[in-house]
């Protein structure tokens, strides 16, 4: 851990920030597993070092060179190239581990939201509501007997279901024969709309994940 890492670790500890995060110790643990493949480019003073994880994934590369051939020392060139590759690999590990943690947290939120949505749909199915009652009216018809979620929470869950259905429909339209012949500006606007729907859905998922689980469900048992 360098001085800068120590500084910010102390600040984070002082602030008492509780959320999951990537730490310098985690990064250094991965960095310790990195191997370096080096080679001198024939006919030059350039040395290349490639930082490789045990899986074979290339994290980064480093390069050293000297302008005057009489200054070229192969051992020194390898050392400098590895040093640069290690620094670049460390930065890459921060980025990739951050992505992996962020994706895991997102999947947890989506999983909780999906569980809540399945529970609500199960309630609707058990109630055997008439087929003519659809969408919002179907939800309203069972609000009085839906346990565990308040009416506004049920509306948020239903809102996410409707939004996801619309996003799925738009994605199917992207794969249709009509979409490619639309003007480019319109295709760009539809793509931007689909991305915005994804952000909107993620926000709703976070809200749903914060709702209390339905009594009697597996989520409720796990939270006790």
pLDDT digits (tens, 9 = 90+) for 17-42: 777 888 898 899 999 999 999 999 99
Q: Which two tokens stand for residue 89?
A: 């690999």
Domain of 79 in residue numbering reads as 3-90
pLDDT score at 116 = 61
Angle between helices 151-174 and 74-126 (to 10 degrees): 120
Between 158 and 36, whose confidence is greater? Answer: 36
Q: Which two tokens stand for residue 182?
A: 């639309």
Whether residue 107 sits in one domain with residue 213: yes
96 within a domain of the structure (yes/no): no
Whether residue 116 sits in one domain with residue 60: no
Domain boundary among 40, 57, 90: 90
Domain boundary among 30, 60, 90: 90
- pLDDT tens track for 46-57: 999 999 999 999
pLDDT score at 2 = 76
The average pLDDT across 182-208 equals 86
Whether residue 145 sits in one domain with residue 78: no
How far apart (Å, rounded) are the C-alpha atoms in residues 108 and 115? 11
Between 98 and 109, whose confidence is greater? Answer: 98
**pTM metric for this prediction:** 0.54
pLDDT score at 71 = 94
116 within a domain of the structure (yes/no): yes
224 within a domain of the structure (yes/no): no
Whether residue 10 sits in one domain with residue 61: yes
16 within a domain of the structure (yes/no): yes
97 within a domain of the structure (yes/no): no
Whether residue 182 sits in one domain with residue 149: yes
204 within a domain of the structure (yes/no): yes
Q: Kindly state the helix (H) or strand (E) to which residue 156 belongs, with its residue range.
A: helix 151-174
Residue 217 pLDDT level (bands cut at 50, 70, 90): very low
* pLDDT > 90? residue 219: no
pLDDT score at 153 = 78
CATH number of residue 52's parent domain: 3.30.160
165 within a domain of the structure (yes/no): yes
Q: What percent of the chain has pLDDT over 70?
A: 75
Between 60 and 7, whose confidence is greater? Answer: 60
Number of folded domains in the chain? 2
């Amino acid at each position: 851990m360098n001085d800068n890492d120590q500084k910010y670790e102390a600040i984070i500890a002082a602030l008492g920030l509780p959320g999951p995060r990537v730490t310098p110790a985690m990064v250094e643990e991965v960095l310790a597993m990195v191997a370096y493949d080096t080679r001198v480019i024939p006919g030059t003073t350039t040395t290349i070092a490639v930082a490789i994880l045990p899986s074979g994934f290339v994290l980064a590369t480093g390069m050293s060179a000297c302008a005057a051939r009489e200054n070229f020392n192969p051992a020194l060139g390898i050392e400098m190239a590895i040093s640069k590759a290690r620094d670049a690999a460390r930065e890459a590990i921060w980025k990739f581990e951050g992505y992996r943690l962020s994706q895991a947290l997102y999947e947890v939120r989506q999983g909780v939201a999906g569980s809540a949505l399945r529970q609500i749909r199960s309630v609707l199915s058990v109630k055997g509501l008439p087929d003519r009652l659809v969408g919002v009216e179907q939800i309203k018809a069972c609000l009085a007997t839906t346990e565990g979620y308040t009416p506004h929470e049920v509306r948020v869950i239903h809102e996410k279901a409707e939004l996801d259905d619309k996003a799925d429909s738009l994605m199917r339209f992207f794969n249709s024969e009509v979409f490619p012949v639309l003007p480019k500006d319109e295709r760009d606007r539809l793509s931007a709309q689909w991305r915005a729907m994804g952000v909107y859905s993620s926000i709703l998922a976070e809200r749903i994940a914060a709702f209390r689980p339905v009594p009697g469900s597996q989520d409720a048992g796990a939270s006790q």
